[in-house]
A and B are shown apart, each in its own frame.
Chain A
Amino acid sequence: MQHDSVGYWKATLALIRNVLIVWFVVSYGLGIILAPALNSIKLGGYPLGFWFAQQGSIYVFVALIFYYAKAMGKLDEKFDVHED
């Protein structure tokens, strides 16, 4: 059986790119580059930039991997390249 392997790879790369954008924004963006500015906002007792660097980015990372795994599972089915 012939799969659309070019289309599958394109879709995969697009998904990876989207996830990486979020990954970059929460850690490097909000946790480092914008952290000094964000620190004037408070999340409970946390300055927001500090929170992103030491708490928030980790929660987002976990969510991102599960989102990716699920979305890839769907892509595999759509392009009929899934296992068994």
Chain B
Amino acid sequence: MGLQGITYLIVGATFALYIGIALWARAGSTKEFYVAGGSVHPVLNGMATGADWMSAASFISMAGLIANMGYGGGLFLMGWTGGYVLLAMLLAPYLRKFGKFTVPQFVGDRFYSKGASTVAVICLLAASLTYIIGQMTGVGVAFSRFLGVSNTMGVFIGMAIVFVYAVFGGMKGITYTQVAQYCVLIIAYTVPAIFISLQLTGNPLPQLGLGSDMAGTNVALLTKLDQVVTDLGFGKYTTMTRLSQLNYFVYTVSLMIGTAGLPHVIVRFFTVPKVRDARASAGWALVFIAILYTTAPGVAAMARLNLHNTTYQYKIMGNEKAGVAQVDDLDLFDSNNNLVYEDRPAWMKRWEVTGLLKFNDKNGDGRIQYYNDKNESIKDKAAAAGWAGSELTVNRDIMVLANPEIALLPNWVIALVAAGGLAAALSTAAGLLLAISSAISHDLLKEKFMPDLSEKGELMAGKIAMACSIFVAGYLGLNPPDFAAGTVAIAFGLAASSIFPALMLGIFSRTMNKEGAIAGMLAGLGITMLYVFAHKGLFFIKGTEFLGLFGGKANFFFGIEPNAFGAIGAVVNFAVAFAVKRMFPAPPEEIVALVESVRIPRGSKEIGGAH
């Protein structure tokens, strides 16, 4: 069977599995639709959280970005795992004790005002919608490759499938489906990584392989990679930072506190039976996430090395499959060593169809030159070799999916990765859509505008909200503001600047009043959106950037990029909240008592219905 056949087979089998589970555990009441009856074991809940969490950004996009960013890519790794420590200690147990099942409900009750809950809904929608745009970008990449269509077509097909998928079942379906999805995606991620690590270093564990010597030599893999990329004019892999160490730092903070503020992750911790379980659940979730996150750096570095190896006819380090041996002291600036375009491997042709990989023969020699043509120090060498600029454009979001193909692994492994990528993208999109639909149908409509909405009406409103979100996100996903993981980072910034501080103040400050919290959320979200939209366009619509208002220089605030600005937004949020708090009366006694009771585990109850 050919590659396409095997891919259909494996993807089809995994989908049949998810749908089967969803049917088996079809949601009945509204309560089950959202939180699966509050009775999921911490380990299973951890796995489901892992699947929910590891979206297209983690699975498809992240390693590709790390491959490009080198050491700087560590901000994704630390940011998206370190946040769980905050979540486990600062939020999960207390929100579980509080015993309601959405973030706006907590904010509304703690700050004794429907206004506060409405503002929380707005913050939640801003973060979740941005997040889904990133997912749609990833879904588009996965589907375009999987079906061999253009990226645009891939996004359209993805929208349709996500819609059917998310509207189909509720959280209960989703919880067990997501356990299955976790298994599929983690196998899909680690199997090729093990193959490649073995191939390059002889060590099967990518976590160790990345720190090992190249097979059959005494040169460390990272040393080799550093040497190849710097020779070609790129930044040194193990030391290049992200813009500046300050930006690196702030970016990491933003992702960490965003993790602890994202509604679809927090809601997971409402679904465990006890406060004690909420703490352990975060730990288990991180174990399952860490398996992928510690593998990703290996995938990134090895994919990068394999890509360069490919453009030099595998001579940089040899490839057994291709029957090429390593050439010592290879002259990278000798065009005869460059890959002839006509002889390019099949995977390049497959990705050219999607439009995400492009070759432009600038010097007309029919060979692929791939180097950093913006680096002055290698300009002379490149000119002497007759090169007229780098000729290969590789979209970073394709690196993980293309990785097994680049390494010439067997077809079933390539098919497996496609299935994993689809699982990752679909599971997170579904979880997010659920958070959006509950925010709109329950927190906004039922609580504020239509108190006598029936349970059926509420479910229907939720589904309409899902459909609208998919449409908006898909439309913006066609012209995404950034690579999938970059867009998702912006979503984290929005959560970091609005929801995280409000929750923290609600739990750790007994005296915070509603005026302070509301002003804080609005200020944090507002300033972060302003900074992001100035760079990326109003509501991410291309052509509406307004950097000119701020002097026209990108990253004008101490060189901090918009994706990282959430941390600054959070600081503004806290500052405004405390300043405004002083001008208004303290919260009523019963609220102080509520805060006291949330801090003590005893007396936690099964989550009752929201009514």
Chain A positions within 8 Å of B, measured between CB atoms, are 3, 5, 8-9, 12, 16, 19-20, 23, 27-28, 31-33, 35-36, 39, 43-47, 49-51, 53-55, 57-59, 61-62, 64-66, 68-69, 72-73, 76, 81-83
> Chain A residues near B124 (CB, 8 Å)?
none
A35: contacting residue among B71, B84, B275, CB under 8 A = B71
Q: Are the CB atoms of B239 and A83 closer together than 8 Å?
A: no
Q: A51-B211, A62-B283, A83-B602 are in contact. List 10 more A-B contacts (CB 8 A).
A: A5-B596, A45-B210, A46-B211, A50-B74, A54-B77, A55-B297, A58-B78, A69-B280, A72-B93, A73-B276
Q: Mark B206-226, 1 if CB is under 8 A from A, else 0.
A: 011011110000001111000
Chain B positions within 8 Å of A, measured between CB atoms, are 66, 71, 73-74, 77-78, 81-82, 84-85, 88-90, 93, 207-208, 210-213, 220-223, 238-239, 245, 248-249, 252, 274-276, 279-280, 282-283, 286-287, 290, 293-294, 297, 596, 599-604
> Chain A residues near B221 (CB, 8 Å)?
45
Looking at the assembled complex, report how far the CB atom of B54 sits from the nearest CB atom of chain A, in whole angstroms.
Answer: 14
A12: contacting residue among B78, B85, B599, CB under 8 A = B599
> Chain A residues near B220 (CB, 8 Å)?
44-45
Known: A45-B221, A57-B82, A83-B274. A31 touches B74 (CB 8 A): yes
B238: contacting residue among A12, A39, A61, A62, CB under 8 A = A39
Q: Are the CB atoms of B239 and A39 closer together than 8 Å?
A: yes
29 contacts between A and B (CB under 8 A): A3-B600, A5-B596, A8-B599, A12-B599, A19-B89, A20-B85, A27-B82, A45-B213, A45-B223, A54-B66, A54-B73, A55-B207, A55-B294, A57-B78, A57-B81, A58-B77, A61-B81, A62-B286, A65-B85, A65-B89, A65-B279, A65-B283, A66-B283, A68-B89, A69-B280, A72-B279, A73-B276, A82-B601, A83-B276
Known: A64-B85, A82-B276. A47 touches B238 (CB 8 A): yes
> Chain A residues near B66 (CB, 8 Å)?
54
Q: Are the CB atoms of A5 and B280 closer together than 8 Å?
A: no
Known: A5-B596, A19-B89, A76-B276. A65 touches B84 (CB 8 A): yes
> Chain B residues near A72 (CB, 8 Å)?
93, 279
Closest A residue by C-beta to B214:
A45
> Chain A residues near B245 (CB, 8 Å)?
32-33, 36
Q: Are the CB atoms of B290 and A59 closer together than 8 Å?
A: yes
9 closest A-B pairs by beta carbon, nearest first, are: A45-B220, A53-B74, A44-B211, A65-B283, A69-B279, A46-B211, A54-B297, A45-B211, A50-B238
> Chain A residues near B294 (CB, 8 Å)?
55, 58-59
How many residue pairs at the A-B interface have CB separations less than 8 Å? Answer: 139
Looking at the assembled complex, report how far the CB atom of A60 sits from the nearest CB atom of chain B, in whole angstroms.
Answer: 9
Looking at the assembled complex, report how far the CB atom of A75 sits from the nearest CB atom of chain B, in whole angstroms.
Answer: 10
Q: Are the CB atoms of A23 and B222 closer together than 8 Å?
A: no
Q: Are the CB atoms of A47 and B85 closer together than 8 Å?
A: no
Looking at the assembled complex, report how far the CB atom of B453 sits from the nearest CB atom of chain A, in whole angstroms.
Answer: 34
Q: Are the CB atoms of B211 and A43 closer together than 8 Å?
A: yes
Known: A39-B239, A81-B601, A83-B276. A65 touches B88 (CB 8 A): yes
Closest A residue by C-beta to B246:
A32
A19, B90: Cα distance in complex, Å: 11
Closest B residue by C-beta to A76:
B601
A77, B18: Cα distance in complex, Å: 41
> Chain B residues near A33 (CB, 8 Å)?
245, 249
Q: Are the CB atoms of A46 and B210 closer together than 8 Å?
A: yes
Q: Are the CB atoms of B252 and A32 closer together than 8 Å?
A: yes
Closest B residue by C-beta to A79:
B600
Looking at the assembled complex, report how far the CB atom of B58 sits from the nearest CB atom of chain A, in whole angstroms.
Answer: 13
> Chain B residues near A43 (CB, 8 Å)?
211
Known: A69-B88, A76-B276. A44 touches B212 (CB 8 A): yes
> Chain A residues near B223 (CB, 8 Å)?
45
Looking at the assembled complex, report how far the CB atom of A30 sits from the nearest CB atom of chain B, in whole angstroms.
Answer: 11
> Chain B residues near A51 (CB, 8 Å)?
211
A79, B471: Cα distance in complex, Å: 52
> Chain B residues near A36 (CB, 8 Å)?
239, 245
Looking at the assembled complex, report how far the CB atom of A64 sits from the nearest CB atom of chain B, in whole angstroms.
Answer: 5
A23, B279: Cα distance in complex, Å: 17
- Residue of A3, A31, A53, A81 with most chain B CB atoms under a 10 A cut-off: A53
Q: Are the CB atoms of B599 and A9 closer together than 8 Å?
A: yes
B275: contacting residue among A9, A16, A83, CB under 8 A = A83
> Chain A residues near B604 (CB, 8 Å)?
83
> Chain B residues near A61 (CB, 8 Å)?
81-82, 84-85, 286, 290
A44, B218: Cα distance in complex, Å: 11
> Chain B residues near A65 (CB, 8 Å)?
84-85, 88-89, 279, 282-283, 286
A39, B220: Cα distance in complex, Å: 14
Q: Are the CB atoms of A32 and B249 closer together than 8 Å?
A: yes
A72, B66: Cα distance in complex, Å: 36
A35, B88: Cα distance in complex, Å: 27
Looking at the assembled complex, report how far the CB atom of A24 sits from the nearest CB atom of chain B, in whole angstroms.
Answer: 9
Q: Are the CB atoms of B90 and A16 closer together than 8 Å?
A: yes
Q: Are the CB atoms of B290 and A62 closer together than 8 Å?
A: yes
Looking at the assembled complex, report how far the CB atom of A79 sits from the nearest CB atom of chain B, in whole angstroms.
Answer: 9
Q: Are the CB atoms of B600 and A8 closer together than 8 Å?
A: yes
Closest B residue by C-beta to A68:
B89
> Chain B residues near A20 (CB, 8 Å)?
85, 89
Closest A residue by C-beta to B221:
A45
A20, B252: Cα distance in complex, Å: 15
A36, B290: Cα distance in complex, Å: 24
> Chain B residues near A81 (CB, 8 Å)?
600-602
> Chain A residues near B211 (CB, 8 Å)?
43-46, 51
A3, B600: Cα distance in complex, Å: 10
> Chain B residues near A16 (CB, 8 Å)?
89-90
> Chain B residues near A47 (CB, 8 Å)?
222, 238-239
B290: contacting residue among A5, A45, A49, A58, CB under 8 A = A58
